[in-house]
Amino acid sequence: MTWELIINLLSWACFLVGGFFLFVGALGMLRLPDFWARLHAASIIDSAGVGLILAGMMLQTGFTLITVKTLLIVGFLLITGPTASHAVASAAFVSGSRPKDIVEDATIEPAKPEKKKRAAKTARKSKS
Amino acid sequence: MSGIYDNMLIIIFGIISSMLCAWIVHHLKLFDVGAPLIAVKTLKFAKYVFWLVVEIGKSDWNIAKVILANDINLQQRLIRVPVGEGSDFSKMLYANSITITPGTVTVETETDCFIVHALIDETADQAALADMGSRAFATQRGEN
């Protein structure tokens, strides 16, 4: 009885904290200024939100076949999530998009601000 | 995996589809089958995953603080992170670890470095990234 209570409390803590991180991620999607920053909000949802909620589900199911399946879901998400965000980021980078108000950019040689985009493109071409 | 093993038709469908997938991948010659996974040190890999989960938790909290702050204060930067010699698998592991950690995203991979986008000052820490890299590379046999 007490064991069940402990498990229930733990899983509810997981659900609540995971829900909090999902909310924070969604808020970040709206509040952050540009594409590059929003990518990080998606990353929060990917790792903390989904991870904690699935951990809570695992605690609820106990040790059964469903737990194994949930673990597999976590594993696949940990592989596919970053791969997808890398693909999106890479596409944005290749198409010449750069973060707003960037502090430091190691990818371009100092160029005139209005020619920034073109300089980045030619720099990439010469490398590849 | 569904716990239902008494319906032969479904099991046969499962076997056929998994064999079809395996054959397609083999036929496309997408990758060197099995070699990098065999070289993984299981215990070290488990340790690495555990360490990574803790790191993800920490930076989750950092980025959550940034999002919830009254005025959003970002120091976005694109940095080059040097990558040592290593197998494709450990490079993949390193790049994916960087991306899954909130605050850093691997944008582009080049032969000897990754271009990483960092959201705030704390996450643009070359030393911490290099530490993550050495841990990722240590999971492979024959590399340290």
pLDDT tens for A55-107 read: 888 888 877 888 888 888 888 888 888 888 888 888 888 887 777 666 666 66
State the pLDDT confidence band at B16, using cuts at 50, 70 and 90. very high
| Residue pair A40/A31 in contact by the 8 Å Cβ criterion | no
Overall pTM > 0.80 = no
**ipTM beyond cut 0.85:** no
Minimal Cβ distance to A105: which of B1, B77, B105: B77
Residue with the bigger pLDDT between A96 and B143: it is A96
- Residue listed under structure tokens 């998994």: B18
The tokens for A41 are: 């909000």
Cα of B143 to nearest chain A Cα, Å:
22
Q: Which residue of A has its CA nearest to B66?
A: A28
Query: Which residue in B67, B75, B97 is closest to A32 by CB distance?
Result: B67
pLDDT above 90 covers what percent of chain A?
A: 2
Tell me whether B71 touches chain A (CB under 8 Å).
Answer: no
The per-residue pLDDT for range B40-62, each reduced to its tens digit, is 777 888 888 888 888 888 888 88
What was the pLDDT predicted at B141?
63
What confidence score (pLDDT) does residue B11 get?
85
**Neighboring chain B residues of A41 at a CB cutoff of 8 Å:** 63, 67
CB spacing of B60 vs A21 below 8 angstroms: yes
Q: Residue B91 and residue B137: Cα distance in Å, rounded? A: 8
pLDDT tens digit string along B74-97?
Answer: 777 777 877 777 677 777 788 888
CA pair distance A116, B140, nearest whole angstrom: 40
Question: Using the beta-carbon criterion (under 8 Å), do A43 and B103 form an inter-chain contact?
Answer: yes
- A3 residue type, one letter: W
Amino acid residing at A82:
P
Taking CB atoms and an 8 Å cutoff, what residues of chain B touch A85?
A: 99, 105
B108 CB neighbours in chain A (<8 A) are 90, 93-94, 107
Question: Which residues does B102 contact at the CB level (< 8 Å), separation at least 6?
Answer: A40, A43, A44, A47, A48, B56, B59, B60, B62, B63
**In this complex, do B117 and A99 lie within 8 Å of one another by their Cβ atoms?**
yes
Contact A107/B at CB under 8 A: yes
pLDDT for position A114: 43
Domain ranges of chain B: 35-137
- Contact predicate B86/B137, CB 8 Å: yes
Residue of A nearest to B92 (CA): A83
